[in-house]
Structure 1
Amino acid sequence: MPNFGLLALGGNLPSEFGFPDQTIARAIMQLNCNGIHLRAISRFFQTPCFPAGAGPDYVNAAITIESDLMPENLLARLHEIEASFGRERTLRWGTRPLDIDLIAYGDLVRPDLETHTAWRDLPLEEQVKSTPQELILPHPRMQERAFVLAPLMDVAATWRHPVLGGTVAEFYAQLPQSARDEVRPL
């Protein structure tokens, strides 16, 4: 039985395929093959660069998928697609033409609850310096990020986090109004 997955897409630099919205649209088309099947696509949103001041505004979107791929194989496929659009993994949270994050995959908690909790609770100043060497699922800070949650509201508002127990809609409602206001549909 295929796994249900949540993907977050973003970009704030042009690629050879056009501006960030055009790049994301083209990347979504490439995702719908090789063991990945699209279920739903969110609207596109303009969001401030994270962290603030690090570059131009982003375009963000979310999609739901079904796939029989193992999570690590799916992540490798996402990285291949990013690279085909000019993504270079040189600077954490740097500007980029395309970013595709595996936010959740079924009810999987990877690699384990203890590691997930440690990354979720990592202070911001450490998050900037540290990159996990393994896949962490669900994404440890998805519940804090309006640029992830707003697009997910379009396609997976009722998805329930297997560790925290809340839904996308509940996490979104808990964000400060100022954070929700920063994410604007295109």
Structure 2
Amino acid sequence: MKTSPIYIALGANLPSAGLSPAQTLARALDALAARGITVVARSSDWHSPAWPDPSAPAYVNAVAEVATRLAPRALLDQLHAVEAEFGRVRHIRWESRVLDLDLLDYRGERCTDAGGMDVPHPRMTDRAFVLLPLAEIAPDWCAPGSGKLIGHLIDQLPPADIAATHR
């Protein structure tokens, strides 16, 4: 029996150790693979303006399907460890960053804990920079809970957000 997929989002808008944001995303996937987290599929790189400060460097975003036997919390901890490996330090919410790895969907399950884990990612369905790359690798994905198809969710996004997010 095939299990449902696990999806993670990747983003960066600052260089890390001499790597461009796009190179950082590729190396982050290598770092996950070295930790036993298999990359099954990966979207193209997508570009989106920084938010909330559009004068900051634009982001490079991607979504990957991964396979692992790790439980949701253990996987999220590994994502945070890879972020730290690339120099991510959390100071201010939504600040520019060298690497951001988010657990979007863990096999369609609802996963929360006292440590702040909230899966599926609570804001993913409102973000063009998540939904557009996710649609590239999972065109039939449905939002856990609501069951809304990804195409419907994309149609609900502000047209300006869709226009600003591109390959």
TM-score normalized by the length of structure 2: 0.92
Match of 2:121 among 131, 136, 139: 139
The change in CA–CA distance for 1:69 and 1:54 in structure 2 (over 3 A counts) is farther
Name which of 152, 164, 171 aligns with 2:134. 152
Distance 1:179 1:137, change over 3 A: same
Q: Give the RMSD, CA atoms, in angstroms.
A: 1.8
Aligned residues: 166
Instruction: Give the letter for the 2:124 counterpart.
Output: M
Q: Which amino acid aligns with 2:161?
A: A
Distance in 1 between residues matched to 2:77 and 2:18, nearest whole Å: 22
Question: d(CA) in 2 for partners of 1:36 and 1:167?
Answer: 27
Task: Give the whole-Å Cα distance in 2 for the aligned partners of 1:53 and 1:183.
Answer: 13
**Does the Cα contact within 8 Å between 1:17 and 1:23 map onto a contact in 2?**
no
Task: Report the AA paired with residue 145 of structure 1.
Answer: R
Match of 2:156 in 1: 174
Residues 172 and 142 (structure 1), Cα distance of their counterparts in 2 relative to 1, 3 Å cut: same
Q: Distance in 2 between matches of 1:140 and 1:148?
A: 12
Runs of 4+ aligned structure 1 residues displaced above 4 Å come to: none
CA distance in 2, matches of 1:103, 1:61: 12
TM-score after normalising by structure 1: 0.83
Rounded to whole Å, the distance in 1 between the matches of 2:100 and 2:55 is 15
Aligned to 2:70: 69
Segments of 5+ residues of structure 1 without an aligned counterpart are 113-131
The code of the aligned residue for 1:138 comes to P
Deviation at 1:66, TM superposition (A): 1.3
The Cα offsets for residues 81-132 of structure 1, whole Å up to 9 and x where unpaired, read as 11111100111111101000000100211229xxxxxxxxxxxxxxxxxxx8
| Stretches of structure 2 lacking an aligned partner (at least 5 in a row) | none
1:102 pairs with 2:103: yes
Contact 2:135 2:141 in 1 (8 A): no
Distance 1:4 1:101 in 2: 15
For 1:61, the aligned partner's letter is A
**Equivalent residue of 2:147, what SS?**
coil
Q: Match of 2:105, as an amino acid?
A: A
SS of the equivalent of 1:56 reads coil
- Does residue 183 (structure 1) correspond to residue 161 (structure 2)? The answer is no
**Equivalent pair of 1:39/1:65 in contact (CA under 8 Å):** yes
